[in-house]
Structure 1
Amino acid sequence: MKTSFAAAAACAVALAATTAGAEISDGKVKIAVLNDMSGAYADATGMGSVEAVRMAIEEFGGQVAGMPIELVYADHQNKPDVGASIANRWIDTEQVDVIVDVPTSSVALAVQEITREKNRAFLISGAGAEQLTGEACSPTTAHWAYDTYGQAQGMGKYGVETLGDSWYFLTVDYAFGHALEASVTRVLQESGATVVGAVRHPLGVSDFSSFVLQAQSSGAKVIALANAGADTINSIKQAQEFGVTQGGQTLASLLMFPTDVHSLGLEAAQGMALVEGFYADRDEQSRAFADAFIQRHGTLPSMIQAGSYSAARHYLQAIQDLGSDEATAVLDQMRKTPVNDAFALNGTLRADGRMVHDMYLMQVKSPAESSGEWDYYKVLTTLPGDDIYRPLDQGGCPLVQN
Structure 2
Amino acid sequence: MSTKPTGEPPPPTDAVTPAGGDPHVLYVRFQADAPLAEDVYQGLLALLGEVTPVVEALPPDAALADVRGALRYFGRDAAGLAEIVRVRALARYGVDCTVGVAANPMLARMAAHDAPPNTPGAVRTVPGDPDAVAGFLARKPPIALPGVGAATARALCAYGLDSTERIAAAPLSTLQRILGAATARRVHAWAHGIDPAPVTPNAPARAVGAEHRFDRDELDPDRRRRALLTLADGLGIRLRTSGQIAARLSLTVRYADRSSTTRSRTLTEPTAHTPVLTAAAYALHDALGLQRARVRSVALRAEGLMSAELASHQLSFDAADDKARRAEAAADRARARFGVSAVRPAGFLGTGFLDVA
Q: TM-score, normalised by structure 2?
A: 0.26
Q: Based on CA coordinates, which of the two structures has the bigger radius of gyration?
A: 2
Larger RCO, structures 1/2 (Cα 8 Å, 6+ apart):
1
